[in-house]
Amino acid sequence: MDKLVVECAGRLSGSVEISGAKNAALPILIGCLLAESPVKLSNVPHLMDVTTTIQLLASMGVEVMFDEHLNIEIDASNITKKEAPYELVNTMRASILVLGPLLGRFGEAKVSLPGGCAIGSRPVDIHIKGMEQMGATILVEQGYILASSNGRLKGADISMSPVTVTGTENLLMAAVLAEGTTTLRNAAREPEVTDLAEFLNKMGANITGLGTDTLVIEGVERLSGVEYSVIPDRIEAGTYLAAAAVSQSQLTVTKVNPKHLEAVLQKFEEAGAEIFCSEHEVTLDMRGRTLKPVNIRTDPYPLFPTDMQAQFLVMNALAEGCSTIEETIFENRFMHVSELIRMGADISIEGNTAHITGVKKLFGAPVMATDLRASASLILAGLVAEGETVINRVYHLDRGYELIEEKFHKLGAHIYRITD
């Protein structure tokens, strides 16, 4: 099993090009199921989750081809199977998104429940209830969602609670081919949701309210293939900026949309960093500055994202003073705290809140990654810790960060991969 070894390298410098957003690419890849002619996608990151999604599409009979620039062409004109099996879905929760387009286009779908998911504990039930409002018949049997409709789905007025990104995306894809008007209320506003909606509109869908919490979809009879480029990954960008902050460095991220990072950039400034933005670049300068503690509460976009919580926790662990981070989106998302404590951090957990007292230094140690963003936070800690940090279970990292060792090497970091 692969491990990452990280050694303290002092300051980072230079620039790093940001890849396409994983959380936009996955629903867009799955949205290709709705098109009756080939789709060409660019700026798709080459990640484990993307590979799994392509395998899932191929298992249904979708033709997938790559050109010399690693752009992807997807032809879903001849689907042979309307099923997402457990062996693929259990590795990636986003696989549930095939339910909407399969049901909307073909009137049937068989989709395994995501691994370890109880219907009532995570918002998969929102997907199901919304599609039932649109006229679908849905059964949950032996770990599978069995969905069917008698003819086209029907437009409906659907209110979602709590806000759910995948729920919004799934119902959006189900609604674009439905008969009549569908209104999605309390919809997720994340840039990745908007990117999916813009992609669907380019294929011929009629969606309004993009970027707001109310999406209105006028159903159309068919969608056609297009060429489309995925938006840049705001979380990858934020992670590299956090690396500059903890190492008191200056660093530029390129090919980004600063508007997608506004809440995060405000917190970087509150932490003492200087921020410079242009149309497609962000520079963070922490040279000669002292990290200040910042209190954070995670919330749906446009507020502070849960996917940046772990990175800011490392910053707070090295800041002068005390701070709190309240996690309101996901339960059990402080599992990286015990690993940071092994490295010398002073953190305690009370309910869904982490209480952090900054320390002067961290120390290298063998640690274990528990999820994607936790993996990234342990790299940040290792970049400034005395000695060597060995991060186990880095397959989490490979799900969401493209070429992470190469990109950090370019910035001057000492990081390399070993295999047992």
* Per-residue exposure over 213-225, b if at least 16 CB sit within 10 Å of its own CB, e if not: eebbbebeeebeb
Helix (H) or strand (E) holding 325: strand 322-326
Q: With contact defined as beta carbons under 8 Å apart, do 230 and 28 qualify? A: yes
What's the token pair of residue 289? 């500055």
**Among candidate residues 342, 352, 297, 286, the one with its CA nearest the CA of residue 319:** 286
Cα→Cα distances 4→207, 267, 310, Å: 44, 28, 18
Distance CA 133, CA 410 (A): 51
What residues are labeled active site?
117
Distance CA 147, CA 102 (A): 9
Distance CA 80, CA 100 (A): 17
User: 379 Cβ partners below 8 Å, 6+ apart?
Assistant: 4, 6, 243, 391, 397, 404, 408, 415
Q: With contact defined as beta carbons under 8 Å apart, do 9 and 178 qualify? A: no
Residue type, 146: L
